[in-house]
Structure 1
Amino acid sequence: MSGIFGVFNRDGKAVTQGDLDAMHQVFAQWFDDDHGIWCEGNVGLGHTMLWNTPESKLESLPCVDGPIGHRLVITADVRLDNRAELIETLKIQHALETVTDSHLLLLAYRKWGDGSPKYLLGDFAYVIWDECEQKIFCARDQLGIKPLYYHQSNDLLVFSNDIRPLLAHTGVPSGHDSLRALYYLYDESHSRRTFHRAIRKLPCASTVSFTSQSVSEQIFWRAENCAEVKFETEQEYADALLILLKQAVSDRTRSAFPVVSHLSGGLDSSCISVLAARELKGAKWPLTTFNWVPAPEGLDDPEYFEWGLARKVAEQEGITLTNVALSQDFVSNAYRTQALMVNNTQYLWYENVVLGEAGDLGSRTILSGWGGDELISNNGVAFYAHLFWRVNPLKAIRQLYALAGGRIQYSKRFLKLIYRTVVIPVLPQKLYLRAMGMGQFSWDYLRYATPKFNRFAQGNAPEPGHVSRVGVRSRQLALLNQGHIVERIESWAADALPRGVEHRYPLLDRRIVEFALGLPSDMYCNNGRGRHIFRLAISGIVPDAVVKNTNKNENARVTELERLMYSAQNAWAQSPESGASSDYIDREKLLQAIENTRNQWDKMAPQDKLEALLVIYRSIVLWHL
């Protein structure tokens, strides 16, 4: 985990030490275990170190390798998980623990050139200056765990793994990106754009090379190309998955500092916490876990699954579980200070509390189960629609009939199953939302926009994000390509880096993602039970109550969040700062919406409340932009 930055004057002008010092100082106010700057001619690379893995303490970056005329210079934010394999393939005659990740990256580039990232396993964003080719080479990992941002013009390239150092360079113009703002209002992500008109991000699984005259981008990994996974028995699939889960967690607990983890009591976080606790057993610092749900109080039932399941996991492994709570002041302040300009779009403010707690423990790593629901622990809801519409309708009917009870007296239950699993998935988007109980707030995004922004939206508004609901694999791919997975990753990175902490995501390990995309569909749904293969893999690892639980609702957490957001928006409406309209949002329309919501609150359907709050929240945040 590090801060990386650099400048390439494509017009040939010399890079000054001052250009790089200004970027370094942004990182240095957050952390500075070590730092370095390499500057020669029209190129300069910098690095501000925050140690995490044991081998990171051996790094000295930027690193220069090779004779003059053929030198490679690298700066990197990286954790490689196939170090032993690379050392063998690259024929390195040194002990594993003495070889740095940056050295492996350089040798891989020397051997495979621009195609080297496809041989890497782990989380990485790195930049290499290739003296012989006179080019800057940039790479970002397959799932986008490590961000990489850049400003490019005919004369200049400036890059960093955080937006704020880019803004410290005088050559980066200011100004908002209206298209990104529009996507935000629609609750859509964008693979390239940021809220700065002059700053872009490198997409996942991509490389880009810059010379003085050209720009060349390549994709080195595609989820669509993942191979089919075949075993003879269901148990063999489960055993293979458990091996991958253990390895992914082991790789991500590799730290010279305390490690903490999310623990909600759900399948994903419970699995990760148990495996991490066992991996760290006997280590200097045992695992500490955090739950986003405030601790039970008063008439709350401590056995209710939102509290009880996480506690069972913690008790089984003998680890500390801390429940975090949001304050009203914190949420109200977020309405005024949400950091869109540093690419943070998330409203899951609990993680800010976890970051603070983790920092107090001296931790530099937070393990998260994010990405599991979309991929390896997918609920398989699209299985029966695929079976009915595209494979064998009679087989689908027979399975659903058996699932409903297999008798004529259960015909009403059977028809409901047909409607829910076969009919609803193929409805048009608006009808689908209504059938799923989602109200009017799910698609009217421009209701509070200014006339000017409304005009801009004509022809520029994104198509509503459509996620395939027929076929497990097509749904997984759609969820992966939709962008919301990496958007949360980027948002959390924007919050975590200034605190000297990084998130690691075991269920987004490339090996697990490829395994998930290669599984037969019936591994996800068995006799109506979703997440089947994941449950089978972790049976006997996590408490049975966790494996058997099928309730994904978070009523206690969501109810409290709604209360805090409701109070925050009302307080904002009364504040003097909610003055004139902005470029994007009409103040009067927004204030009227807040008043209407206040008057209708007690009559609103439960499913409409949070959606209404979020539409208003995004509008307020955009008003502040």
Structure 2
Amino acid sequence: MCGITGWVSYRRDLTSHRQLLDTMTETMACRGPDAAGTWVTGKAALGHRRLAVIDLPGGAQPMTVETADGPVTLVYSGEAYNFTELRDELRRRGHGFTTDSDTEVVLRGYLEWGEALTEKLNGMYAFAIWDSRAEKLVMVRDRLGIKPFYYYETDDGVLFGSEPKAILANPLAAPVVGIDGLREIFSFAKTPGEAIWKGMKELRPGHLAVVDSNGLRERAYWRLEVSEHTDDQQATVARVRELLEDIIARQLVSDVPRCTLLSGGLDSSAMTSLAARRLAEDGETVRSFAVDFPDQAENFRAIDVAPSVDTPYVHAVAEYVKCDHQDIVLDGSALSDPAVRRAAIAARDLPIGLGDRDNSLYLLFKAVREQSTVALSGESADEVFGGYPWFHDERREADTFPWLAGGPVLGDTSSLLPDDLAARLDLDTYLRDHYVTALKEVPLKEGESGLEKRMRQVSYLHLTRMVNTLLDRKDRMSMAVGLEVRVPFCDHRLVSYVFNTPWSLKTFDGREKSILREATRDVLPESVANRKKSGYPGSFDPAYLAAIKGQASDLISSGHPVLDLCRVESLKQAIAAPGESITTQQRAAIERALDLAAWLDLRKPTITLD
């Protein structure tokens, strides 16, 4: 896992801009703490920061192959889980290898198949290849968008990077946030391809882009498609189990210590148990980690997406599976530390306003990184198998993104916006337009109607919108501390198979995630197999709430520029609300204001409303 960046220019000599490339590359240091490398020629400059996971001595980048017609050079972030099979195939086709890394497999795969390489890869990846033979740059992002990739077109080429901060380190990219950027920040609906920075784009999942002297062209190489599901219930359950076992075995391959992130929910518990079985074949014990908070059971407040405390279920799994388990306990003072908030915002580059849930995720990953370099996560199973509450109640019929029906589940902060700014942003219309656009993309079977049609739409919206937000969050928080997080439930084979499984079959026992539960029930404690969906936990430590109220009061007293984006009266009311009666919306408003303030201080954006 790594951080990549680069610059292609058809009218400049980039050999005179090495220092600027170094600056862009250095912004990715957190993503690649083990090594750095750059490669510069007249028209192309590529930078790489490495987190060594596979072939520690042999995977240095940028990686170049000299061909008879000129060099072909790669910067690559991610993992190709089928690199062993691809390497064998390439050897049969006459390719020789000088390393054991998946990086070289991707590079030589491009030499053999060109852009069609994308059809062969299984993994999470973002990479760029400068092909001097055609003087073109090929940029590729994995099918589900697990790894991030941004680009910024210039007057004679392109800038790119794993994160916006790499691009913004180049003076050709101005740090300007326009009205659509603000709408993305405040809407809780991730629009594929859009970055909040003016002029910057996100390479969409399952897409590649080619840059040459004629400009930039982006196209899809993979998308969700409909196909006939012919397996019955028993065969479907068996196929899901078969896929999971194969996926997890592949994703456990590593030359560095690995572990699992265990929440005690169905997804992470099933993953951990299957990982334990695979590792036991080699005489190894799976290591697992969970987040917890002091006095969580006493302070806990149930919400729609998190109705129960995790710890009893975590410990039940750890005992059942015989994990080498550790709870990472985070108290209110750690979560409310302004330095932690700044670190979390710096990692995400977005003031989304998830507050302590972002702060705790950052601290969890930081603690895990002290003992492991690779972690497997249960992220995205809810999007794949239909686990969220709104898949199963009236919200699925709402004429909007289902997770926004009734307001964002972690608190609607729209009341925090000043009236004039709220009117300019017109978030309702923005969301409506993007919802309509998203629905038009949904592939439907001929004659599909009623509930089956609607649930295909709901599944598609989650797999192309909501999941992008969660994957980006997990990637940014983990890579900020040099931890590689792998997401087995995002294997495109599993996603495609389950996407085409009828909703009636996905809920054959009248519950959420019926297929996953049945496919893994035999490796789980009964209490966990039957546990209702419960999302990533928040802290209810009174010390945290008291601390953030004080910090928000300081913002108001200091006249911080964030107040231009906030309705001060609403913020004061939230601060004044007693701890035992503060609403979810009020707490979210405080956290949103603090996140916005940290973002403004760190990124110093120019904000325009045009």
TM-score, with structure 2 as normaliser: 0.82
Cα distance between partner residues in 2 of 1:97 and 1:270: 39
Q: Which one is further off, 93-102 or 534-543?
A: 93-102
Give the AA of the match of 1:360. E
Amino acid at match of 1:343: D
- Per the alignment, residue 451 of structure 1 pairs with 420
Structure 1 distance, partners of 2:373, 2:169, is 26
Is the counterpart of residue 376 in structure 1 residue 385 in structure 2?
Answer: yes
Shift of 1:275: 1.6
Contact persistence 2:124–2:142 (CA under 8 A): yes
Q: Retained in 2: the 8 A contact 1:380–1:531?
A: no
Given the superposition, is the C-alpha separation of residues 77 and 271 from structure 1 closer, same or farther in structure 2, using an over 3 Å criterion?
same
- Name the counterpart of 2:259: 260
**Residues of 2 paired with 1:299 and 1:447: CA distance?**
30
1:173 paired to 2:174: yes
Give the corresponding residue for 2:65. Answer: 65
What displacement does 1:532 show?
A: 1.3
2:65/2:72 contact within 8 Å kept: yes
Q: 1:448, 1:508 → 2: CA distance?
A: 35
* Cα 1:27–1:82 shift into 2, 3 Å: same
In 1, are the aligned partners of 2:149 and 2:163 still within 8 Å (CA)?
Answer: yes
Aligned match of 1:560: 540
CA distance in 2, matches of 1:439, 1:28: 34
Within-5 A mapping of 1:67-146 = 67-90=67-90, 91-92=92-93, 99-146=100-147
Q: Is the 8 A contact 1:367 1:505 kept in 2?
A: yes
Query: Per-residue CA shift, 1:555-593, capped at 9, x if unaligned?
Result: xx44616x4664344212321565436478455x33443
**One-letter identity of the residue aligned with 1:201:** E
Deviation at 1:311, TM superposition (A): 0.8
Cα deviations by residue, 1:306-353 (Å, 9 ceiling, x for unpaired): 322211110122211314324235335266665268534454222112
Contact 1:5-1:46 at 8 Å conserved across structures: yes
Alignment check: 8 A CA contact 2:175 2:198 kept: yes
Asked if 1:550 corresponds to 2:532, the answer is: yes
Equivalent-residue separation in structure 1 for 2:97 and 2:278 (angstroms): 20
Checking the alignment, whether the CA contact within 8 Å between 1:448 and 1:586 is kept in structure 2 is yes
Contact 1:3 1:160 in 2 (8 A): yes
Other structure's SS at 1:147 match: coil
Q: 1:410-430, CA deviations, whole angstroms, 9 ceiling, x for partnerless residues?
A: xxxxxxxxxxx5x66445569
Q: For residues 349 and 116 of structure 2, what CA distance do their matches in structure 1 show?
A: 29
Choose the corresponding residue for 2:573, options 595, 602, 607: 595
**Alignment-derived partner of residue 366 in structure 2:** 356
2:443 maps to none
**Matched-pair contact (CA < 8 Å) for 1:83–1:96:** no
The 3 A distance-change label for structure 1 pair 551 and 355 is closer
Q: Distance in 1 between matches of 2:13 and 2:490?
A: 42
Aligned equivalent of 2:488: 506
Give the TM-score, by structure 1 length: 0.81
Aligned: 1:203 with 2:182:
no
Q: Provide the secondary structure at the position in 2 that maps to 1:71.
A: strand
Q: Please, what is the CA RMSD of the aligned residues?
A: 3.6
Where does 1:282-321 land on structure 2 (aligned, <5 Å)? Answer: 286-294=285-293, 306-319=310-323, 320-321=325-326
- Displacement, 1:602? 5.3
Aligned residue pairs total 570
Which is higher, the Rg of structure 1 or of structure 2? 1
Partner of 2:345: 339
Aligned to 1:474: 457
- The more displaced of 316-325 and 351-360 is 316-325
CA separation of 1:621/1:550 partners in 2, compared to 1, >3 Å: closer, same or farther? closer
Q: CA deviation at 1:176?
A: 2.7
Quick one: distance in 1 between partners of 2:528 and 2:538?
20
Displacement of 1:194 in angstroms is 2.9
Q: Establish whether residue 463 from structure 1 lines up as the match of residue 422 from structure 2.
A: no
Match of 1:571 in 2: 550
Structure 1 residue identity aligned to 2:592: R
Read off the aligned partner of 1:595 and give its amino acid letter.
Q
> Which segment drifts farther, 15-24 or 113-122?
15-24
- Verify: 1:10 aligned to 2:10, yes or no: yes
CA drift of 1:513 comes to 0.6
Write the distance in 2 (CA, Å) between the matches of 1:451 and 1:575.
24
Task: Give the direction of change, closer, same or farther, for the CA distance of 1:300–1:146 in structure 2 (3 Å limit).
Answer: closer
Separation in 2, partners of 1:564, 1:189: 32
Structure 1: how far apart are the matches of 2:398 and 2:160?
Answer: 44
Counterpart residue type for residue 541 of structure 1: V
Q: Which residue of 1 aligns with 2:278?
A: 279
Q: Give the whole-Å Cα distance in 1 for the aligned partners of 2:581 and 2:120.
A: 56
Question: Which runs of 5 or more residues in structure 1 are unaligned?
Answer: 384-420
Q: Is the 8 A contact 2:157 2:212 kept in 1?
A: no
Contact kept, 8 Å, 1:137 with 1:209, in 2: the verdict is yes
In the alignment, is residue 618 of structure 1 matched against residue 592 of structure 2?
Answer: yes
Greater shift, 246-255 or 157-166, is seen at 157-166
- 1:290 and 1:165 mapped to 2: Cα distance? 31
Select the residue among 555, 559, 576 that pairs with 1:580: 559
Does the 8 Å CA contact 2:38/2:46 hold for their aligned counterparts? yes
Write the letter of the residue equivalent to 2:414. Y
Native 8 Å contact 2:259 2:286 kept in 1: yes
Label 1:315 to 1:432 Cα distance change in 2 as closer, same or farther (>3 A).
closer
Q: Is the 8 A contact 2:256 2:373 kept in 1?
A: yes
| Separation in structure 2 between the aligned mates of residue 335 and residue 2 of structure 1, nearest angstrom | 23
Verify the 8 A CA contact 2:347 2:480 in the aligned structure 1. no
Task: Please give the secondary structure, in 2, of the residue aligned with 1:480.
Answer: helix
SS at match of 1:339: helix
Q: CA deviation at 1:481?
A: 1.9
CA apart distance, 1:165: 2.8
Distance 1:441 1:45 in 2: 40
Residue of structure 2 equivalent to 1:147: 148
Matched letter for residue 574 of structure 1: S
Query: 1:564 and 1:368, CA in 2 relative to 1: closer, same or farther beyond 3 A?
Result: farther
For the residue of structure 2 that corresponds to 1:529, the secondary structure is coil
Spell out, residue by residue over 1:184-235, the C-alpha distance to the aligned partner (whole angstroms, 9 max, x if none). Answer: 2122223233343343321111111111231100011111x1433322x422
Give the direction of change, closer, same or farther, for the CA distance of 1:336–1:36 in structure 2 (3 Å limit).
Answer: closer
Distance 1:273 1:183, change over 3 A: same
Letter in 2 for 1:370: E
**Structure-2 residue corresponding to 1:390:** none
Residues 481 and 584 of structure 1, relative CA distance in 2, 3 Å threshold: farther
